[in-house]
A and B are shown apart, each in its own frame.
Chain A
Amino acid sequence: MNVSYEHRTLFRYEGPLDMQLLPQIVKSAEQLLIGEKVRTPLRRKIISILIELAQNVIHYGIHNHPLANPTISLTRGGDDIVLSISNPIHVSQELFLRTYIENLLSMSKDEQNALYQNVLTKSDYTDSGGAGLGILQVLIKSDNFSYKIEPLGQEHAYFTITATFHTNNS
């Protein structure tokens, strides 16, 4: 029997997410990436994005949904590290998220970078977040980005962001 180690789950967490738990997740993910011999710049890039997306879930996600919890996973696929974060959202957030992300995806990397600088230097921010900079950061820093929004009952949906990083770029 041949066993493929090309796609391995390095880390997976499913459950309620809060700021008490996040540092432990960060520490575990960091140790696993060190074990995978992922170089410091890429490791820090992945962890930065994990923090950003996890804080989006903490700030904006639906908590205590009876059917679905937030999920964070790190997977190794060949030379790629794949970070995937999912969480329940209210259906009213779906249109905004789709419009916002599709608009960002229609931009070039240069345009995304210019927007990031513009928001960073000129916009106001909220108590909880950084004026929508989180998802933009993921787009800028990842080598591949995808998202999906799946139905979850009548009032909710399950929102997933997947960011891929090439280890041979670092």
Chain B
Amino acid sequence: MTSVLHIDASLTTPEIHFDLEKAHFSIKGSSYPENSLKFYQPVVQYLADLVNTHTPDPAKTFILDVELQYFNTSTAKVLLDILRYFEQLYEKGQPVKVRWLYLEDDTEMEDAGLDYQTAVKLPFELVALHEEA
């Protein structure tokens, strides 16, 4: 499988940057595509392949950074699917950490992160970001 998956951001979709070599996976921006399943299909395929082929490396921690401004409910469900793939990797022995990044006063996004934290069995950190001056 390819090591890097990159999808540029658009007005309605986030930047996706998954880099297996660097053990860093990032979803950043707004996510309200017309068809979330279609948009996230390459991401889901990448993760399905990763789950099937990856040999756990305890020396590396996979970091998944999720930093979203807006996301619609169909994205909400796909996000859970994405987290479930990382959960499978974690269950197979691959160290994984999810960092849910949100602006410090954005309680909406903080609450969404708390919901996901409850829904999956993964090391899950909520990180409040300070707005740039």
Contacts and interface: CB of A to CB of B under 8 A. Distances in A.
B34 A58 contact: yes
Contacts of B12: 19, 22-23
Contacts of B108: 41, 44-45, 48, 141
Interface in B50-81: 69-77, 80
A45 B11 CA distance: 18
B77 A51 contact: no
B110 to A, nearest CB: 9
B37 A127 contact: yes
B106 A51 contact: no
- For A125, A128, A133, A141, the residue with the greatest tally of chain B CB atoms inside 10 Å of its CB is A125
B119 interface: yes
B109 A44 contact: yes
B106 A130 contact: no
Contacts, number: 76
Nearest to A131: B77
A47 B30 CA distance: 12
Interface string B30-43: 00111111100000
Interface in B90-133: 103, 105-109, 115, 119, 131
A125 B74 contact: yes
Interface in B1-20: 11-12
Interface string A10-49: 0000000001001100100000000000011100110110
B59 to A, nearest CB: 32
Interface of B: 11-12, 32-38, 69-77, 80, 103, 105-109, 115, 119, 131
Interface of A: 19, 22-23, 26, 39-41, 44-45, 47-48, 51-52, 55, 58, 117, 120-121, 123, 125, 127-131, 133-134, 137, 141
